[in-house]
Structure 1
Amino acid sequence: MVSSATDCDVLIIGAGISGIDAAYRVQEQCPELSYRIVEARERIGGTWDLFRYPGVRSDSDFFTLAFPFHPWRGENSIVDGDEILDYLDEVLTTYGIDKHISYRTRVVGADWSGGDARWTVKTVIDGGEQQIRARFVIVCTGYYDYEQPYDAQIPGRERFTGQIIHPQFWPQDFEPDGKRIAVIGSGATAVTLVPSLVKLGARVTMVQRTPSFILAEPRKDPVAGLLRSKLAPARAHQIMRVKNTALQWGLYQACRRAPKTMRKLLRSGAISGTGSETLVDTHFNPPYNPWDQRLCIAPGGDLFKALKDGGAQIVTGNIRTITEGGIELADGTTVSADVIVTATGLSISLLGKIALTVDGEPVNGADTVVFRGAMLSGVPNFAFCVGYINLSFTVRADMTARLVTRILKRLSGHDRSVVVPVYTGPHPDRPFLDMQSGYLRRGAALMPRSADDYPWTMAQNVVRDSWHTNRADLDDGLVWTKPRVTSG
């Protein structure tokens, strides 16, 4: 498929979990195609290379976060960040994917030419500009802004005499031991940081505006040990992956269908972990239902234990201001601190801030409609990957990669070289990642839209989504053509 006017058949942007998954599926299903991965950072890992704060770990079990084609052999089910990077390195070298990666290569723009059916991708490498020509582009940059996290605009920051740290830019020489640390936030990052900082000798106060639901899960899954003792690693991994996907799906469905019952169960678990009904009803009793926002995991109940043992405290309320010596809440409560950690959330950045154009016309993501969670209406020979919100990212990433390779096989095996999703219905208003979490609400205006039915949607329901995606009719919503003019 590659020609003298093309550097590669398939360009994959991003070497995190989804980029590695896409590369594996391309070389597995389309060995006749050349591919290249470009990565803006100096190493693989994406999110897991970006975040280096204490205790950083998977926020779901690793049997589902790991790849289905490479078994996880580690002891734990909830896995620390350095173990995740080691696993990804192992996958790269095992399958030879590392030979296809260019590091420190930031993509800043991509223009599709209908005349020769190719993308011209503009990159910056060590300060110099370079172009890459490709027939198909897959963007695997996730949906976080790696350079600029969300700024909650808390007043009084300039008055604080101590140190303010955002978890996205954690200083590696920081020593928490003996320090009074206020962690602002109630999401997954704060839930991870608080017990980790306590273990490192800090006195920690968790300052939250709105409580979150917290579910304690064991770090190790005893079923994994049993299966590994009886079965080959690949088979044991496959069963664990199916089991845990089903459990996560079941938990989500139970929360959506029986929120009162699940609220009671989550409350009961929190009381068991903290030993205090008052503390739970005050600080772990959100005004929304379970899974209206993301459910946070506490491995081994570590956050509950930190609160119960007194290493950490928690306060709930609106912040009035940061003061010279800490934080003042609207009700007058003060929190003294030497260090403030602003775990206040992330910013959305779909498609890695790439300036996307089709024959010179800019593409505005919000003007497009998502095709099966993997392509954009009106954008030819282009795919992107975003994982589930209510399940491990990789479950959806691998589903997307397998769908895209089906499309690539058809492109390379027939006398067609262009495929474009064409949406003809009324433009929908709903963003395709539709949940009440703060970072998703803030980024809703940037997102592609989602209709109610397939192929123009991506459900946060792995059973429904996998049924429609894995059995997708590639003539439903996709238009296959030859280039207008043949060149090169």
Structure 2
Amino acid sequence: MTQHINTLVIGAGISGIGVAVHMQQNSPQRDFIILERRDRIGGTWSLFKYPGIRSDSDMSTFGYKFKPWREDKVLAEAGAICNYLQETIDEYHLQSKIRFNHALNAANWNTEKQLWELEIDNNGSVEQWTANFVIGCTGYYNYEHGFQPKYVDQDKFKGQLIHPQHWPENLDVVGKKVVIIGSGATAITLVPALAKQDAIVTMLQRSPTYIASIPSIDFVYNKLRKILPESVAYNLTRKRNIGFQRAIYKFSKSNPEAVKKFLLAGVKMQLKGKVDMKHFTPNYNPWDQRLCVVPDGDLFKVLREGKAFIETDHIEKFVEHGIQLKSGKVLEADIIVSATGLEIQLLGGLNASIDGKAIETKEHLMYQGSMISDVPNFALIIGYTNASWTLKVDIVAEYLCRLFNYMDKHGFATVTPQGDESAKSTVSLMGSNLTSGYIKRAEQVMPRQGLKDPWAGRASYYADRDALQKANFKDGILKFVSLTANPKAKKRIKLFG
């Protein structure tokens, strides 16, 4: 027998859990289920196991607006984030809403029935489900494997080659020579973490990244919590940090030279003349790629104390005992960590179609940063690349609940953002903001960047918040179809809804 659910949420990570709480609070008339292909919650934060894994955004903005982050660390480790998500599930009684080990393999929108027809793998057993509405909360990368370049003579290396996405359990690095390829958030986290485990660590980068040191503890938040209710202190801290993030981003775009000087001066002060500044002087402007942060300058500390090393060069080839660089230098290694980023993938590789015709996401636009053009009853949660991911989750979830309530009040079965070819650009939704490698790889799967509202990716929490709060559903773009327009659909929804 086909199982039916009103609203299907794909993914039990930070997006899916956040959406679920908003639905429970703001659209309680809609029944929903969260499908999770793995056996645990957490998404990224339970998948990655490499040493030191932590958030790269402050937790007052990475946490949900409805649930205060109760620890004093600005950047949280993965375990603490998973605990926060489990607390959210417990507080809002969501455990019964999650179906673990359920993978959505295929989804086809049946126009006649006004339903999504779903093929779901339940622990190896294929099931047929239907849903009125589907919300994708799987992020934008492949959980099966990360982005792994093929290096010249890679097979000649006699040591271990590891990608951080698949960190071996109980890996012994004590006294081992470890080379980390990369300069992003993962690499700069691994360096001090492995140095603490007495590994001999070298970070190898093709080009430098802007890195800023921030305090590990938010002392102002701690003081506010002593004199104010926790929720008030959290909201004040959250507003402060949202404003601070946005101000830095805008100033970086309008006055890049000033921001560059400020950031480099901070690095120079941290290194104290012990490490050549060439390793931290990028050839691009701040926020052309994501700005990385380290708590209490931990990366700089291990470098200046000689507990870790850094090289800026290109890889010529792998050799038996390490890596030969273009300069001719050989970096000896027992273990090489390829911290080269993510393989971009939407919806976990789901095969999605409309009446049997495949949906090519790169040919579509994003409407109000929440729905895909010309795809009925489907929303997609894609967080910010220039601010905390969760900020987008909160405002899109609120918007969707308002949309659901509008549809239910007026008896609408479907909603479809009607695409506008004149608004489509050749650049992906993420490609107009950053030039990072994983952003460029996203060109092949991400919806296109719109040239005008409501199709333009605003990349601004304030702009998105205001636009979505004020959005008028009678805008001539959203096409609604009522239940009464299709008797078969009406009968099906009454039977299973």
How would you bin the TM-score normalised by the shorter chain?
Answer: over 0.9
Contact kept, 8 Å, 1:112 with 1:118, in 2: the verdict is yes
User: Equivalent residue for 2:188?
Assistant: 191
Distance 1:6 1:470 in 2: 34
Contact kept, 8 Å, 1:431 with 1:444, in 2: the verdict is yes
Q: 1:190 to 1:445 in 2, by over 3 A?
A: same
Partner of residue 141 from structure 1, selected from 117, 138, 143:
138
- CA RMSD, aligned part only? 1.3
User: Equivalent residue for 2:466?
Assistant: 467
Amino acid at match of 1:444: E
Contact kept, 8 Å, 1:40 with 1:106, in 2: the verdict is yes
SS of match in other structure, 1:428: strand
SS of match in other structure, 2:202: strand
Contact kept, 8 Å, 2:428 with 2:442, in 1: the verdict is no
User: Equivalent residue for 1:485?
Assistant: 486
Moved over 4 A (4+): none
Amino acid at match of 2:342: L
* Residue 75 (1) aligns with residue 72 (2): yes
Contact kept, 8 Å, 1:218 with 1:299, in 2: the verdict is yes
Structure 1 stretch displaced more, 302-311 or 443-452? 443-452
Extract unaligned runs of 5+ from structure 1: none
User: Equivalent residue for 2:453?
Assistant: 454
Amino acid at match of 1:311: K
SS of match in other structure, 1:129: strand
Distance 1:134 1:410 in 2: 18
Partner of residue 284 from structure 1, selected from 280, 283, 292:
280
Contact kept, 8 Å, 1:143 with 1:350, in 2: the verdict is yes
Structure 1 stretch displaced more, 464-473 or 284-293? 464-473
Contact kept, 8 Å, 2:181 with 2:203, in 1: the verdict is yes
How far the C-alpha of 1:6 sits from its partner, in A, is 6.1
SS of match in other structure, 1:151: coil
Distance 1:203 1:409 in 2: 58
Structure 1 stretch displaced more, 132-141 or 443-452? 443-452
How far the C-alpha of 1:458 sits from its partner, in A, is 2.1
User: Equivalent residue for 1:344?
Assistant: 340
User: Equivalent residue for 2:495?
Assistant: none
| 1:192-230 deviation per Cα after TM superposition (whole angstroms, max 9, x unaligned) | 100100011111000001110001111111110111011
Partner of residue 210 from structure 2, selected from 194, 210, 213:
213
How far the C-alpha of 1:428 sits from its partner, in A, is 2.3
The aligned runs of 1:278-317 (5 Å cut-off) are 279-280=276-277, 282-317=278-313
How far the C-alpha of 1:406 sits from its partner, in A, is 1.1
Partner of residue 179 from structure 2, selected from 155, 174, 182:
182
How far the C-alpha of 1:486 sits from its partner, in A, is 2.1
The aligned runs of 1:278-427 (5 Å cut-off) are 279-280=276-277, 282-426=278-422, 427=424
Structure 1 stretch displaced more, 129-138 or 464-473? 464-473
| 1:27-75 deviation per Cα after TM superposition (whole angstroms, max 9, x unaligned) | 1111111000000111000010111100000101011111111111112
How far the C-alpha of 1:119 sits from its partner, in A, is 0.8
| 1:3-29 deviation per Cα after TM superposition (whole angstroms, max 9, x unaligned) | x97621110000000000110011111
How far the C-alpha of 1:386 sits from its partner, in A, is 0.6
Amino acid at match of 2:465: S
Amino acid at match of 2:452: D
The aligned runs of 1:138-177 (5 Å cut-off) are 138-177=135-174
Contact kept, 8 Å, 2:209 with 2:292, in 1: the verdict is yes
Contact kept, 8 Å, 1:454 with 1:468, in 2: the verdict is no
Partner of residue 53 from structure 2, selected from 56, 67, 76:
56
Distance 1:82 1:5 in 2: 37
SS of match in other structure, 2:105: strand
Extract unaligned runs of 5+ from structure 2: 493-497
Distance 2:83 2:151 in 1: 37
The aligned runs of 1:122-137 (5 Å cut-off) are 122-137=119-134
Contact kept, 8 Å, 2:352 with 2:358, in 1: the verdict is yes
Amino acid at match of 1:391: A
The percent of aligned pairs where both chains have the same amino acid is 37
Give the number of equivalent residue pairs.
484
Contact kept, 8 Å, 1:10 with 1:34, in 2: the verdict is yes
Contact kept, 8 Å, 1:369 with 1:449, in 2: the verdict is yes
Structure 1 stretch displaced more, 461-470 or 417-426? 461-470
| 1:418-460 deviation per Cα after TM superposition (whole angstroms, max 9, x unaligned) | 1000023423222111221101101212111121222112211
Contact kept, 8 Å, 1:115 with 1:486, in 2: the verdict is no
How far the C-alpha of 1:111 sits from its partner, in A, is 0.8
The aligned runs of 1:264-279 (5 Å cut-off) are 264-276=261-273, 279=276
SS of match in other structure, 1:120: strand
Distance 1:470 1:348 in 2: 30
Distance 2:448 2:163 in 1: 31
Amino acid at match of 2:480: W
TM, length-normalised to structure 2:
0.95
User: Equivalent residue for 1:263?
Assistant: 260
User: Equivalent residue for 2:439?
Assistant: 440
* Residue 26 (1) aligns with residue 18 (2): no
| 1:462-487 deviation per Cα after TM superposition (whole angstroms, max 9, x unaligned) | 22222212211222221111255222
| 1:323-355 deviation per Cα after TM superposition (whole angstroms, max 9, x unaligned) | 111111101121111110000111111122111
TM, length-normalised to structure 1:
0.97
Distance 2:28 2:442 in 1: 37
Structure 1 stretch displaced more, 148-157 or 164-173? 148-157
